[in-house]
Amino acid sequence: MKLATRRKPYTALIAPGIFLAYRRNAGPGTWSVKCHGWLKRFGLADDHEDANGESVLSYWQALDKAKALARADETNTERPIIVADAVDTYETDLETRGGRKYNATQLRLHLTDALKSKAVALLTERELRDWRAGLVKKELKPSSADRIGRSLKAALALAARNDKRITNAAAWKNGLKKLPDSEVARNVILPDQTVAALVSGSYDEDRDFGLLIDVLAETGARESQVFRLASADLQDHLTAPRLMMPTSRKGKARKIEYRPLPISARLAKALRQQASGRAAHAPLFDKMWNLATLFSPVVARLELGPEVTPYALRHSSIVRQLLKGVPTRVVAAHHDTSVAMIERNYSRFIIGDPSEALTRATLLDWATPASPEVIPLARLAS
């Protein structure tokens, strides 16, 4: 506090090539680290309030943070990755892998300027948790806030893989844990007649759009899978047509496999026309962005709620198969997911009509007279 207020920070050499910089302001001063030609601010000084170890730091706390930020990898001379950089890299990675670029663009809209400029290596569990809580306070649904949070977790995890100085992965793993019941709002199950009406209404909007919704409804696949379909993936057998559906790139797996999914002769005929004139390995569908936005007019005309999105067709497909008695393992394989995921999210549908008929046959009928050949338990025990 005895130093003169000035724009140029005061610096102190704290390790070879690493400087702790303090800028004296009229208000609280700021700490920065200077290393290999770059300067990065990372916190406030405890000039007017007590240090908390996170946003407000004492000299000794600032010294430790500066070293942690600069010295974890001495061979890395680049400036620290900030959150905005991480999101940009995540967007590029999505494009490269054929993922949904929308995940990054939507995330960017919900980040505050302060969070965008924060070094990933200095993120804390509390500030990430508070940021997502702020999304809900802004009347964002918990399911939407959780989905945006998962996109940020993916971006930060990618940044950590690219920069070994980032060692605080626990901050986003704990701070952005799934919100309670965040998936309930998305698990919209539609009756078959409603699914049929949505498909028909989509065709009224546009033929290509209608055909895409038709495939989503009949196969239960994800948008990303359908957009990777090529013309050659249509196996147009006369009696048993099917689509060779590519698996998703969800999770750590990067290898794409193809699984045959049966489709109706009606859908096969429409896809045959769609594939006509396209090269064997050309995309079967042209890319459509913001599918939910294109879908909303159809939903509104049918007077359905805004919670009905194209993803509801996937939920409905899973439940339809479960209620028809299709084994859970087969349902999971068909929809490119796990048995554990099916049981966790759709367990109330697994105990349905088919399983009830099987278990009902095992019920004891106390009204039936006992057979004389039945041995009393007392005699059997002796």
* Domain spanning 192-358: CATH superfamily: Intergrase catalytic core (1.10.443.10)
Is the model more confident about 150 or about 99?
A: 150
Give the pair of three-digit tokens for residue 282.
């050309």
Q: Is the dihedral of CA 53, 55, 61, 64 positive or negative?
A: positive
Q: What is the average pLDDT score of the chain?
A: 85
Q: Is the dihedral of CA 149, 153, 156, 158 positive or negative?
A: negative
The confidence score (pLDDT) of residue 275 equals: 93
The confidence score (pLDDT) of residue 43 equals: 86
In this prediction, residue 186 has a pLDDT band, given cuts at 50, 70 and 90, of low
The confidence score (pLDDT) of residue 90 equals: 92
Query: How big is the chain, counted in residues?
Result: 382
Say how far apart CA 346 and CA 203 lie, in whole Å.
Answer: 30
The confidence score (pLDDT) of residue 356 equals: 62
Residue 121 sits at φ, ψ, to 5 deg, of -65, -15
Over 70: is that where the pLDDT of 192 sits?
A: yes
Q: By mean pLDDT, which of 90-104, 174-188, 232-246, 350-364 is the weakest?
A: 350-364
Residue type, 170: A
Say how far apart CA 198 and CA 191 lie, in whole Å.
Answer: 11
The confidence score (pLDDT) of residue 100 equals: 72
Over 50: is that where the pLDDT of 75 sits?
A: no
Q: What is the pLDDT of residues 80-112, one digit of tens each?
A: 788 999 999 999 888 777 667 888 888 999 999
Which among 317, 309, 315, 313 is positioned nearest to 261, based on CA atoms?
A: 317
Say how far apart CA 65 and CA 32 lie, in whole Å.
Answer: 10
Domain locations along the chain:
10-71, 83-184, 192-358
Q: What is the pLDDT of residues 116-138, one digit of tens each?
A: 988 898 899 999 999 999 998 88
Q: What is the pLDDT of residues 193-222, one digit of tens each?
A: 999 999 999 999 999 999 999 999 999 999
Non-local (6+) Cβ contacts of 382 within 8 A are none
What b/e sequence results for 296-316 when a residue is b if at least 16 CB atoms lie within 10 Å of its CB, and e otherwise? eebbeeeebeeebbbbbbbbb
The confidence score (pLDDT) of residue 370 equals: 54
Say how far apart CA 202 and CA 162 lie, in whole Å.
Answer: 42
Entry pTM: 0.60
Q: What is the pLDDT of residues 17-56, one digit of tens each?
A: 788 999 999 888 999 888 877 788 888 998 888 888 888 8
